[in-house]
Amino acid sequence: MGFKKHLSSLKSYEAGKPIELVIRDYGIRQKDIIKLASNENPLGTSKKVIKAIKKEAKNSYRYPDDSMFELKKSLAKKYKVDSKNIIIGQGSDQIIELLVQATCGSEDKILTSSLTFAMYEIYASHNQAKVLKTKDGVHNADQFIEIYQKSKPNLVFLCIPNNPLGDCLDRSEVYRILDSISSDTIVALDCAYGEFAAYKDKNKEIKPKEIIKKYKNCIYLGTFSKLYGLGGLRIGYGIADSNFIEMLSKLRAPFNITNLSLKAAIIALEDSTFLKNSLKNNFKEMKVYEDFAKSKNIDFIESYTNFITFMLPKSIDSSSLCEYLLKQGVIIRDLKSYGINAIRITIGLREQNKTTIKLIDKYLKR
Ligand SMILES: *Cc1c(COP(=O)(O)O)cnc(C)c1O
C-alpha cells in the first residue's frame, strides 16, 4: 500500500491503563478502582467549570471562535503577555506535534533528556528526525549544553519539571541552557507541571513574560490537563514571541478546540480556591509517599509535580508490583517501558493514597 515507508517501524504512545480496561479484565467495580496512573487531578473537575460547561452545551451547534479571543485574553492577563503571544492546542501535546512538524525533517535532530516525556521522540519519529539524548535521565544543564554545542540539534525539549521522573531544573539553570543556544535553534520549555514546581519552590518558577522577551526562539508550553483538572477536554497552550506564534499557527487546523473546552478553560483559570486546594492536597500527600519510601529504603526522586517516582531495588520488579496492584483495582504507572525498574504514582486523595501504600506494603511483605 501507499503508506510512507517509515510508518511500519513507528511506535505509538503507551497511555496509562484506562479504568474501563480494569473493569473488563479484572471484574472490579468502577467505584472500587483507584486510578493514579495519568497525573490527573484527584479532586476532579472544579464545580464551577462543570456548571459553565452545562450552560455552554446549548451552543454546541456553533463552530467555536477560531481566534479563541476570550481564552487568549484570560491567559494573556494571567501571564502579562499579549494575545498575539499565545497559541491554543488540543492539549499541549498538539503544540508539541506542531513544533516538531514545523522544525524537523529527516535531516534534523532534536535534543532531550534520556528519560522524559515520550511524545517528543514519537513526534520526532513521525518526521524522521533523529533524537539525541543526554546521559542522565534527570535534566542536567551541562549535559544539554555539551551535546548542543557538539551536535547542533535544531529543536531542544526541556521538560521542567520532568515527567516521568519528577526532577526540575532551577530557573537559573534553564537560563544558562537558553543562553548557550543560538537563536536559530528552537527551544520548548514543557511546563505541564510548572504550577506545582512554582508552588513548592520559587526558584523553579518559569515566567513566560521573561522568557519571550529575552529568547525569541523559545516557547513556553502549559496545559489544563494536570492542575486544572481538564485532561478530558484536551486543551493546552504555548506562549512565545509573536513571530514564533505566527509561524506555528500556520500548521494549526481551524476549530481545533471545542466551545466546551474553551469555556471550561476560562472558568478553570478563575477558580483559585480549587487550584489552591489541589496544590495543598498534592504536597501534603506527597510527604506521605516520601515517608513510606524512606521507611522501606526505596529510592525516590524529589518531585516538583503531582506524581512521585520510586526507583525500585532489583529485588522488587516494577511490572509484577503493578500487576499485583492492578488486580486489586489500583492503577499506577509501570516505567519498565522507559527501560527502568521504577513506578510512577500520581498523588491522589488521602484515602486513595492510604490504600495504595497499604497494598504496596503488603506486596513487599509477601
Ligand atoms: C501531560 C503532559 C503533557 C501534555 O498534556 P496535554 O493533555 O496534551 O495537554 C505535556 N508534557 C508533559 C511532560 C506531560 O506530562
What is the model's pLDDT at position 285? 98
d(CA 366, CA 354): 19
Same domain? 257 vs 139: yes
What is the model's pLDDT at position 258? 97
**Over 90: is that where the pLDDT of 266 sits?**
yes
Mean pLDDT of 95-113: 97
Contact 138, 301 (CB under 8 A): yes
Same domain? 185 vs 163: yes
93 alpha carbon to ligand 1 midpoint, in Å? 6
For CA atoms 291, 294, 298, 300, give the dihedral sign: positive
- The domain in which residue 284 lies consists of 5-44+273-364
223 alpha carbon to ligand 1 midpoint, in Å? 7
Confidence of residue 49 (pLDDT cuts 50, 70, 90): very high
The radius of gyration of the chain's CA atoms, rounded to the nearest angstrom, is: 21
What mean pLDDT value characterizes the chain?
A: 96
Classify 159 as helix, strand or coil: strand
Which residue type, as a one-letter code, is found at position 51? K
What is the model's pLDDT at position 22? 80
d(CA 363, CA 341): 16
What is the model's pLDDT at position 27? 85
d(CA 33, CA 329): 5
d(CA 282, CA 201): 14
Same domain? 179 vs 323: no
Same domain? 254 vs 287: no
220 DSSP 8-state letter: E
**Over 80: is that where the pLDDT of 204 sits?**
yes
For ligand 1, atom 9, name the residue with the nearest CA: 91
In tens, the pLDDT along 326-357 reads 999 999 999 999 999 999 999 999 999 999 99
13 DSSP 8-state letter: P
What is the model's pLDDT at position 314? 95
166 alpha carbon to ligand 1 midpoint, in Å? 13
d(CA 241, CA 219): 8
What is the model's pLDDT at position 185? 98
Same domain? 53 vs 159: yes
The number of folded domains in the chain is 2
Same domain? 291 vs 249: no
Q: Is the CB of 40 under 6 A from ligand 1?
A: no
Same domain? 60 vs 11: no
What is the model's pLDDT at position 12? 78
Give the position of cell 506545582: 196
Alpha carbon distances (Å) from 2 to 8, 11, 267, 351: 12, 19, 45, 53
**Over 80: is that where the pLDDT of 73 sits?**
yes
Which residue type, as a one-letter code, is found at position 252? R
Phi, psi of 52 (to 5 degrees): -65, -35
**Over 80: is that where the pLDDT of 1 sits?**
no
Residue 346's closest CA among 38, 85, 72? 38
Same domain? 94 vs 234: yes
Q: Is the CB of 16 under 6 A from ligand 1?
A: no
Confidence of residue 13 (pLDDT cuts 50, 70, 90): confident
Same domain? 244 vs 138: yes
Residue 111's closest CA among 74, 155, 141? 155
Q: Is the CB of 123 under 6 A from ligand 1?
A: no
In tens, the pLDDT along 225-260 reads 999 999 999 999 999 999 999 999 999 999 999 999
Same domain? 177 vs 238: yes
Name the pTM for this structure. 0.96
What CATH number does residue 200 fall under?
Answer: 3.40.640.10
Pocket probe for ligand 1: among 45, 92, 224, the residue whose CB has the most ligand atoms within 8 Å is 92
